[in-house]
Amino acid sequence: MHAFEQYAARIAHVGQSLGLSGDQIQTLLTPDRVIQKTLSVDLSTGHQELSAYRVQFNNARGPYKGGIRFHPAADLDEVKALAAMMAIKCAVVGIPFGGGKGGVMVDPKKLTPEDLEGIARAWARGFADDIGPLVDVPAPDVYTTAHLMDVMVDEYTKLKPELGAQASATFTGKTVAHGGIEGRDTATAMGGVFVLEAYMAEHALDPNDMRVAVHGFGNAGATVAKLLYDRGFDIVGIADSKSALMSEEALDPYVFDAAKQSGKTLIEAAQGHVGLEIGTPDEVLTMDADILVPAALDNVIAPGKGVAEELTAKIILELANGPTTAPADALLEARHIAVLPDVLANAGGVAVSYLEWEQNMHGATLGREAVNSRLKEIMTQAWHDVSEHARVHSVSFRSAAYALGVKRILNLR
């Protein structure tokens, strides 16, 4: 199933349980606007005309919110799905944003830093009349950075001087020096940890008894591994796109993250460590562990691949977008595996983006400790809302999260 088909299947399931009308379901499946433009840019290789887009899916609860990606094979089906899921995600965690997504069809690996800045400025110019602090608030995404958000703000401010200081609130994910917020760098992982801790508190589980496997050792995966390690969890497996390291005695994610940051592969970093088993990335998904954290790719847990049937973890913390397919949901539920779904578990990033937006709109400044405190409140409350709905209606946590998000978007009781 393609990304939007996965989303549509879940909406159909929730729509049936909530008794939604055809018109209500159609509202949840139809973007408000799909804006496509051509950017005219002078690059180091010469002048180019680049296709750019913005999907503004739903703003029933507030400004559209979502990232801007620079990618050569930008798939509008996937982008539309991510924009729709962002609307659900913001509603689940109770922040006043809707869902959006956008980008430019270009290969950033073939461009200089100056080229990327030029494209960022062109995007800000091209979409200046379609975005704004109360209209649509973009953020970094695939191959875009905090620095490029700074560049976009700089260009946008020139075009919208009437907004004054609030022009900065049109983009989140900026560097701290240019209106960004402390704690955004760890927000996705930290939010997931807060959800997991809330789940474990409800079920009287002890972190010291929990073995964790992390599939995806990029920024989010490495950060969540370190955060859980600090809290007493045993990290028994980590995997990046090339290989995996597994250990019955657990491993120190700080050591392997530092090695990766220095340019080493996981296999090179494993040299000299006793008791480590080296395997393929997907072996981490089914290794002996209590908690599985898919933190990189979508569709990695699916029936027919053997993963949904063979994984041993009893808790799945979805830090990636869409790691579990819709057909796998029923199988995992039948196996009594608790899936803490992506629309809740990885919402820490957009929750802190909301705090950044709020900071820019009102001129207040929050430090990292205050940001994490606010984030914990947001994520813990969201977990309790989802958990209560799941208990009362005897449904999975994903079904509960989608139901809550849908009800809030449609303003249903």
Q: Can you tell me the distance from the alpha carbon of 403 to that of 395, in angstroms, rounded to the nearest whole number?
A: 10
Exposed, middle or buried by CB within 10 Å (0-12, 13-18, 19+), for 128? middle
Q: Can you tell me the distance from the alpha carbon of 151 to that of 161, in angstroms, rounded to the nearest whole number?
A: 16
Q: Can you tell me the distance from the alpha carbon of 221 to that of 212, in angstroms, rounded to the nearest whole number?
A: 12
**Are 371 and 355 in contact, with CB atoms under 8 Å apart?**
yes
Angle at 327 between CA 322 and CA 333, to 5 degrees: 90
First to last CA, the chain: 32
Exposed, middle or buried by CB within 10 Å (0-12, 13-18, 19+), for 336? exposed
Angle at which helices 219-230 and 253-261 cross, to 10°: 150
Which residues are within 8 A (CB) of 342 and not within 5 positions of it... i.e. 6 or more apart? 85, 89, 318, 319, 320, 321, 322, 323
Residues catalogued as catalytic: 101
The pair of structure tokens assigned to 253 is 């994610």
Q: Which of 249, 252, 245 is nearest to 267 (CA)?
A: 245
Q: Can you tell me the distance from the alpha carbon of 205 to that of 199, in angstroms, rounded to the nearest whole number?
A: 9
**Are 295 and 224 in contact, with CB atoms under 8 Å apart?**
yes
Q: Which phi and psi angles does 406 have, rounded to 5°?
A: -65, -45
